[in-house]
A and B are shown apart, each in its own frame.
Chain A
């Protein structure tokens, strides 16, 4: 237990910030109890939380990749996960109603989409239509 976050106690743990040479600003008190700021390279409790969240995300990506390969889902579902999106976000980006986007996750429906609709998805995911249609991810 600490007695007030001290300037020299601002955590400098290893974190994902390091790769980008990124430091965040924290508020702490100096030896006289005056508030000041100090840069931090990271703090384990939140790095662990972030890493867990990323791991959970990667599991979702892997699972949807598998579904696409087994032709149980269209590649749109995979690209949505890959771009850390969920249904409302993807629907908002392509400007198509959620229920329609959800339908497009069904391979049978996806295979019948016209090029105009496909292009909307391709633009959002920054791939070509040919790439978007590939199921051998």
Chain B
């Protein structure tokens, strides 16, 4: 069976799945809208955790939480289920497809055959929609891909039961109940307030303070860890910032797009101005990435320490700008 499902490519998988599932159910919402209402924008440094032998920073809220927040705020209900047994997981998926219900799945990236090899890491918080099954093959709408694709039963089971951090355990989810009309206005305000609160949180590893913390670490790394490791760490930060799914500039451009859309919807010129300002902050993140890549480009061990100070200064400048920005944003709504 094949459900008449419209695939639309998105920058980020979770927003994309939500936007596409909403559209299928007759509510057209854009990716930036899902991201903004779900308060996806964030900056966190996660100490004591290493991925790929480097410290972890995140430019977005925890996997899954964007959809949960979006759903509560606009008034839709979601059903979520995880499984211990792959057979039960498969049966539940097949039942839904038989009922003509396209569903979201959380999967691991490492065993996705259609991903470029270089991008196949043990990352378990990827999202996709399954919208049908034909001759034992599942029809897949993966939001980061240009077109739809398919996976065999065995391939799908493997990615649904990937192991490691954030193991998906066959996680399946779909909206079950909708209001007559989405309560967008209230939801938008809640979403924005939440993001402002996160970014200005008085926690040393979160938001603006988190950016300052990373800047401080970058200054320390070359002396404390040596050039080779410092460069590896710096590369990892840029990868997290610009990885597929961020839409560029560590999600800042998607957020600017959200503010523009919302500014028009609510007829709030302040938000339109702030959207422009966020775009410029996005540019600054891009500049940071360019300068950082000049350092790690050569993989040589001869890097003047003042170059690290230079990129750290860029980050501190971004932190200052974002602090002012989110204070203004809080007042604008």
Contacts and interface: CB of A to CB of B under 8 A. Distances in A.
Interface of A: 1-5, 10, 16-17, 19-20, 22-29, 33-35, 37, 39-40, 43-46, 48-50, 52-56, 83-86, 88-89, 92-93
B296 interface: yes
B239 interface: yes
Interface of B: 9-11, 32, 52-53, 110, 114-122, 144-146, 163-165, 167, 231-232, 235-236, 238-239, 242-245, 247-249, 253-254, 256-257, 260-261, 275-276, 279-280, 282-283, 286-287, 289-290, 292-293, 296-297, 299
A34 B276 CA distance: 10
Given A27-B254, A27-B257, A55-B299, A16 B286 contact: no
B238 A20 contact: no
B145 A22 contact: yes
A137 B43 CA distance: 43
A2 B144 CA distance: 26
Contacts, number: 131
Main secondary structure of the interface of A (DSSP, over half): mixed
Contacts of B167: 92
B282 A53 contact: no
Contact of A53 (B52, B120, B163, B276): B52
A115 B114 CA distance: 34
A34 B215 CA distance: 32
Contacts of A84: 110, 120-122
Given A27-B32, A27-B253, A35-B257, A52 B235 contact: yes
Contact of B163 (A29, A44, A93): A93
Nearest to A51: B118
Given A35-B260, A52-B232, A27 B11 contact: yes
24 contacts: A3-B280, A4-B276, A4-B283, A5-B286, A25-B10, A25-B11, A25-B247, A27-B247, A27-B254, A27-B257, A28-B253, A35-B32, A35-B261, A35-B275, A39-B9, A44-B293, A45-B293, A49-B236, A49-B238, A50-B118, A52-B299, A86-B53, A89-B163, A92-B167
Contacts of A40: 248
A24 B244 contact: yes
Contacts of B276: 4, 33
Given A19-B116, A25-B11, A4 B242 contact: no
